[in-house]
């Protein structure tokens, strides 16, 4: 977790808000043990990231309506009960607003994990058809139930065939870690033309996918805005505050700039 921007984002926000709190990041193998340990330590709350967003649900007492629908949790609030939330949806919706995406017919989603579930929920009522591609096609098929609830037609695509959908969609979303730290791209961006592109990867702030998509005339945005918005909503859940997202984003950019200079 040493490359995570979340600690600097939240700790900068806590200082700005005058909160007596600290945010720490940990690599976790057993999520049940980690949750119980945090509870014993008196933690206010925590974020959950891949690969634990779905499995953590069985250790929680209740979920808000959105997390229950999605089947993935990225925020937990501790108290007499352990409450699970999903603020990734807030981040995706905000990013789509910035892209100017309001509606369309079809979207191509790369990845089939918790982030893809948040994307599907975010586009409900905006898009009627989702091409979903992953190296694990069975995982894609498990999203069909969620798509049915959301009124979205689910079209599973083998990973090798993902680029075949590019000329059929108005929006491309990368919901995989591919492209993190500049290591490759999830799709051949030179084939993009006239669509909106949302890359949920935030390190680097401008991924190769976003950079090339813009060169090809596409509206494109990386994952930093999503990260900041979901972090902001997380703090509202934990502390009932209204964070300054500009402070959070400036801290993230400083951290990522230093991280990438040293690598």
Distance CA 148, CA 166 (A): 23
| Residue written as token pair 């975010």 | 122
Nearest residue to 95 via CA among 126, 57, 65? 126
pLDDT exceeds cutoff 60 at 112: yes
24: Cα within 13 Å, side-chain hemisphere: 9
Please say whether the beta carbons of 31 and 59 come within 8 A: yes
> Above 70 in pLDDT, residue 261?
no
Question: Shortest CA distance to 232 belongs to which of 251, 217, 204, 254?
Answer: 251
96 pLDDT higher than 60? yes
The stretch 93-100 carries a mean pLDDT of: 97
- pLDDT confidence of residue 154: 96
Is the Cα torsion angle 190, 180, 8, 28 positive or negative in sign?
positive
Q: Give CATH superfamily name and number for 89-224.
A: NAD(P)-binding Rossmann-like Domain (3.40.50.720)
**74-89 average pLDDT score:** 96
Share the mean pLDDT of the chain.
94
Provide mean pLDDT across the span 219-225. Answer: 97
How many percent of the chain have pLDDT more than 90?
A: 89
Contact 192, 218 (CB under 8 A): yes
Percentage of the chain lying above the pLDDT 70 cut = 97
Closest CA to 181 of 209, 156, 160, 204: 204
Which listed residue (53, 77, 93, 225) is catalytic? Answer: 53
Q: Is the pLDDT of residue 63 over 90?
A: yes
- Whether 53 is catalytic is yes
Cα(157)–Cα(141) distance, integer angstroms: 10
Contact 253, 9 (CB under 8 A): no
Peptide bond into 204 cis (omega under 30): yes
Task: Find where tokens 């352990």 sit.
Answer: 82
Alpha helices in the chain (DSSP H): 6-17, 31-41, 65-70, 88-99, 114-123, 137-141, 144-150, 208-215, 224-239, 245-262
Contacts of 153 (CB under 8 A, 6+ apart): 128, 129, 130, 147
Average pLDDT (16-32) is 95
Asked whether the predicted pLDDT for residue 114 surpasses 80, the reply is yes
DSSP assignment string, 51-86? TSTTGGGGG-SEE-HHHHHHT--SEEE-SSS-EEE-
Quick check: helix, strand or coil at residue 221? strand
The pTM assigned to this predicted structure is: 0.92
61 touches 34 (CB < 8 A):
no
pLDDT, tens digit (0-9, with 9 covering 90-100), for 223-251: 999 999 999 999 999 999 999 999 999 99
Question: Which position has the token pair 């905006």?
Answer: 126
Q: State yes or no: pLDDT of 65 exceeds 60.
A: yes
Least confident window among 120-124, 250-254, 255-259: 255-259
Report the CATH number of the 6-86+230-262 domain. Answer: 3.40.50.10860
Q: Do domains 6-86+230-262 and 89-224 have the same CATH topology?
A: yes
| Domain limits, the chain | 6-86+230-262, 89-224
């Amino acid at each position: 977790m040493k490359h995570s921007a979340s600690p600097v984002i939240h700790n900068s926000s806590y200082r700005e808000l005058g909160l007596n709190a600290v945010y720490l990041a940990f690599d976790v193998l057993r999520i049940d043990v980690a949750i119980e340990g945090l509870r014993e330590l008196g933690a206010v709350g925590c974020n959950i990231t891949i690969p634990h967003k779905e499995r953590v649900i069985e250790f929680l007492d209740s979920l808000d309506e959105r997390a229950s629908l999605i089947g993935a949790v990225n925020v937990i609030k501790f108290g007499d009960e352990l409450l699970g939330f999903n603020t990734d949806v807030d981040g995706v919706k905000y990013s789509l607003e910035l892209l100017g995406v309001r509606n369309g017919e079809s979207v191509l989603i790369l990845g089939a994990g918790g982030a893809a579930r948040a994307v599907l929920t975010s586009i409900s009522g905006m898009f009627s058809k989702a091409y979903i591609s992953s190296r694990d096609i069975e995982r894609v098929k498990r999203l069909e139930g969620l798509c049915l609830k959301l009124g979205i037609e689910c079209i599973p695509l083998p990973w090798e065939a993902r680029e075949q959908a590019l000329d059929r969609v108005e929006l491309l979303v990368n919901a995989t870690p591919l492209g993190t730290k500049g290591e490759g791209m999830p799709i051949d961006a030179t084939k993009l033309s006239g669509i909106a592109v949302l890359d949920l990867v935030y390190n680097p702030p401008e991924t190769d996918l976003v950079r090339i998509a813009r060169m090809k005339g596409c509206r494109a945005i990386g994952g930093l805005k999503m990260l900041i918005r979901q972090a902001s909503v997380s703090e509202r859940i934990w502390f009932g505050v209204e964070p300054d997202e500009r402070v959070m984003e400036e801290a993230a950019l400083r951290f990522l700039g230093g991280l990438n200079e040293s690598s």
